[in-house]
Amino acid sequence: MIMNNWFKSTLFLKIILLLSLFVILVIGGLTFRHISNLTSSTEVVVKTYKVNLELEQIISYLRDAESGYRNYIVTKDTFYIESYLNAHKKVNNSFLNLRNLIKVNSEQQENLKILNKLTDSLFSSFAESKVFVKNDETNTETFKTLFFKEKVIIDSIRRQSMVMFQLENKLLNERQKEFQSDLKFTPLFFYVVLLIMLLLIIIAYTKISNDLKNIKAKNDQLLIFKESTNQSEIIGKHGNWVWHIDSDKYVYSDNLYRLLGEEPQSFEATFDNFLKFVHPDDVDKFAEELDKMIDEEELPFTNYRIIQKNGSIKYLKAFAKSFYGDDGQKILLGNTSDVTDEIENILTLEEQNLELEQNNKELSAFNYAASHDLQEPLRKILTFISRLEEKESDKFSDTGQQYLEHIKAAASRMRLLIDDLLQFSRTNKPDKEFVNADLNELFENAKQDLTEIISEKKAQIKIATLPKATVIDFQIQQLFLNLLSNSLKYSKEETAPIIKIYYSKVEADKEPSLYKAPQSHYHKITFTDNGIGFDQKYAKKIFDLFNRLHNKQDYSGTGIGLSICKKIIQNHKGFIFANGEINVGSVFTIYLPVN
């Protein structure tokens, strides 16, 4: 991974280049050294052979001299002395040459000096002997000794030259050995370096080719992107524009023209030309906001209207951000979109909303008025019935009294219904005031309203400490009242009702029943009782308006109480759930959002 990144960096290429140069220099240097070594080596060999040649030549010349001398001795012809003299000269030449050749080597110089002395002594001996030959005294003992001495000298010369020869060869061998090792090393080194070079070249090539591929791909992407931007502008109904502030030049995208209802690039992109399309009422604001956008980095949208040539009014929304270009010039990049559809939708929605609200208000008023006005005649009926009961019941026959009872029962039931309906319509009132209330207080108030029935049934009510919360206080009190009154009403016969209320603050994502709840935390209040309970399959239905699970003979009730509870909970954006088990009891769980 790291290698990859490193590979991709442009620094990498530079490093490869430097390495290559370095390697080339190294190779150059080494090659140069190698060649000069070779040259030296060759020189040394040549020198050695020259030396050897000279030495051989000396020997040969000496032989010539010797043979000339011998010939002279034999023939006594002075003609042969010439060759001897020549030889002498040549020998001296050779010595000169040798001296030059072995200038560097002190040991060899010593050897040469010895050789020189020997040859000199040989030639002087020859010169001596010549006299003898001239005088024809070759048989004398001194001549024989001299002759023998010459032989010894020649042997010595030969030996000495052999020594020099060997030394020369030894030196040569040594040098050769040196060069040999160099030589052996060089090709290997050369091949290795060559391989490295090759490797470097391959790597460099790979990278360059990759980079090229990338650039091409990016280029392709850019082309596609440009095309899709164009398309998106058309589909999304927006256009881009650029304002080079300093040079006061504008660039409008094709679609910006289309937004104005014109052909792309059909007029010169200037501020004034654009302004011609802006609605006269919005012109000032538009210009002002645009000015603001230059100074600030970013501004919220500006909304304005334009009138196309065909007279249709469009709503546009523009937004711009200022940038500094590469050359340090300030430019404003903007985007303008046609939001006519959205605005028109919103207007339509608002209209519909108003209508709905109006309807709701009327319905509410009707509901309330109906319930309220129905109470009057009903009250009269009931009061007169009670008067009859009190004052005239003895004048009724048994049937008459029974009928009276039934009328009373029916009228009472109607009163209950109207009371509950009235309550229901009150929970629907649009003007709801939320206050920070102590739920314990509200509960106490509700409990107090039920004092009689609580003591009558000997009910026990245990309540946990409830928090303070922002609620519609009278509605929550009603909620508590309804739930409590239900628990008391639907208690088991011969069993004192035990009602327990629990509280905890919970997190929405930890409560399974709060799936997809909008708030994060809720107050959870649980009402449990030991009453007759209900079949869990009705758990949702019992909150329906007018829904009852019992006959009105068995348990009185209007079926509105729990609907009121549900409505109240809805007003608070909370949740209510019912759980029941027949003959065990009921559990009502309410969740109120914590805000």
Partner 1 sequence: MKLFLKFDFNTLSKKVLESKLDEQNLEYKILGFGEIELIKKLTPEDYDALQSSLHDYGIEIVESQKSILVQKIKDMIINMVFNENIDLKVKSSVYLSKNIGHSYGYLSNLFSEMTYSSIGNFIIIQKIEYVKHLILNTELNLTEIAFKLNYSSVAHLSTQFKNATGITPSAFQRIIFKRRKLAKQKTK
Partner 2 sequence: MQKDYIYIILADDDEDDILFFTDAFDELKINTKVNSFKDGEELMNYLNKDNALMPNVLFLDLNMPKKTGIECLAEIKASQKMSDIAIAIYSTSASDDDIEKTFVLGANIYIKKPSDFKKLKKVLSEVVAINWQYHTNALNKDNFLLRL
The answer to whether residue 380 forms part of the interface with partner 2 (CB under 8 A) is: yes
Using a 10 angstrom Cβ sphere, with 0-12 exposed, 13-18 middle and 19 or more buried, the burial of residue 595 is: exposed
Q: Are 330 and 245 in contact (CB under 8 A)?
A: yes
Instruction: Give 409's contacts (C-beta < 8 A, 6+ positions apart).
Output: none
In angstroms, what is the minimal distance from the CB of 486 to partner 2?
21
The stretches of 388-507 forming alpha helices (DSSP H) are 398-427, 439-449, 451-457, 473-489
Among the listed ranges 325-333, 376-384, 520-528, 571-579, the one in contact with partner 2 (CB under 8 A) is: 376-384
Site for partner 2 in 470-499 (CB under 8 A): 474
Nearer to partner 2, 58 or 442 (CB): 442
Q: What Å distances lie between residue 69 and 55, 359, 428, CA to CA? A: 20, 158, 157
| Range in contact with partner 2 (rule: CB under 8 A) among 47-55, 215-223, 384-392, 495-503 | 384-392
Nearer to partner 2, 279 or 429 (CB): 429
- Cβ atoms 503, 467 nearer than 8 A: yes
426 binds, among partner 1, partner 2, none (CB under 5 to 8 A by kind): partner 2
Query: For residues 351 and 177, what is the distance between their CA atoms, to the nearest angstrom?
Result: 110
CA distance readout (Å), 130 to 73, 122, 139, 140: 8, 12, 13, 13
In the list partner 1, partner 2, none, the entry touching 273 (Cβ below 5 to 8 angstroms by class) is none
DSSP string, 62-102: HHHHHHHHHHHHHH--THHHHHHHHHHHHHHHHHHHHHHHT
Does position 393 bind partner 2 by CB under 8 A? no
The smaller minimum CB distance to partner 1, of residues 118 and 499, is found at 499
Min CB(316)–partner 1 separation in Å: 50
| Residue 5 to residue 24: CA distance in whole angstroms | 27
Q: From the list partner 1, partner 2, none, which binds 451 (C-beta under 5 to 8 Å, kind-based)? A: partner 1
User: Which residue's CB is nearer to partner 2, number 151 or number 380?
Assistant: 380
Instruction: Rank residues 64 and 473 by Cβ distance to partner 1 and give the closer one.
Output: 473
Minimum distance from CB of 460 to partner 1 (Å)?
15
- The item of partner 1, partner 2, none sharing an interface with residue 441, based on CB under 5 to 8 Å by kind, is partner 1
Interatomic CA distance for residues 120 and 302, integer angstroms:
121
Nearer to partner 1, 48 or 478 (CB): 478
Q: Which is nearer to partner 2, 379 or 468 (CB)?
A: 379
Shortest approach of partner 2 to residue 356 CB, angstroms?
A: 25
CA angle 495, 496, 498 (to 5 degrees): 115
378 contact choice in partner 2, partner 1, none (CB below 5 to 8 Å, kind-dependent): partner 2
Strands 498-507, 460-463: pairing kind: parallel
| By the rule CB under 8 A, 577 interacts with partner 2 | no
Among 378, 416, 498, 587, binds partner 2 (CB under 8 A): 378
Spatial distance between the Cα atoms of 434 and 463, rounded to a whole number of angstroms: 24
Work out what residue 448 binds among partner 1, partner 2, none; the CB cut-off runs from 5 to 8 Å by kind: partner 1
CB of 473 to partner 2, least distance (A): 9
CB-wise, 444 or 544, nearer to partner 1? Answer: 444
Choose the binding region for partner 2 from 181-189, 261-269, 351-359, 372-380 (rule: CB under 8 A).
372-380
Query: What's the number of CA atoms in the CB half-sphere (13 Å) around residue 109?
Result: 8
Q: Dihedral through CA 516, CA 518, CA 521, CA 522, nearest 10?
A: -80
Using the rule CB under 8 A, is 387 a contact of partner 2? yes
Give the CB-side neighbour count of residue 257, counting CA atoms within 13 A: 15
Task: Restricting to residues 409-428, name those near partner 2 by CB under 8 A.
Answer: 415, 422, 426
Total residues contacting partner 2 by CB under 8 A comes to: 16
For partner 2, the binding residue among 53, 287, 382, 461 (CB under 8 A) is 382
C-alpha torsion angle, residues 397, 399, 405, 406 (rounded to 10):
-150
- Is residue 394 at the binding interface for partner 2, with CB under 8 A as the rule? no
Instruction: Single out the residue of 37, 105, 186, 375 in contact with partner 2 (rule: CB under 8 A).
Output: 375
Choose the contact partner of 431 out of partner 1, partner 2, none; CB within 5 to 8 A by kind.
Answer: none
Cβ 560 to partner 2 shortest distance, Å:
16
Taking the C-alpha atoms of residue 407 and residue 413, their distance in angstroms, rounded to an integer, is 10
- The half-sphere exposure of 401 on its side-chain side, counting CA atoms within 13 A, is 10
3-class secondary-structure state, position 577:
strand
Contacts with partner 1, residue ranges (CB under 8 A): 441, 444-445, 448, 451
Task: Give 97: exposed, middle or buried? Use CB within 10 Å, 0-12, 13-18, 19+.
Answer: middle
Chain positions contacting partner 2, by CB under 8 A: 372, 375-376, 378-380, 382-384, 386-387, 390, 415, 422, 426, 474
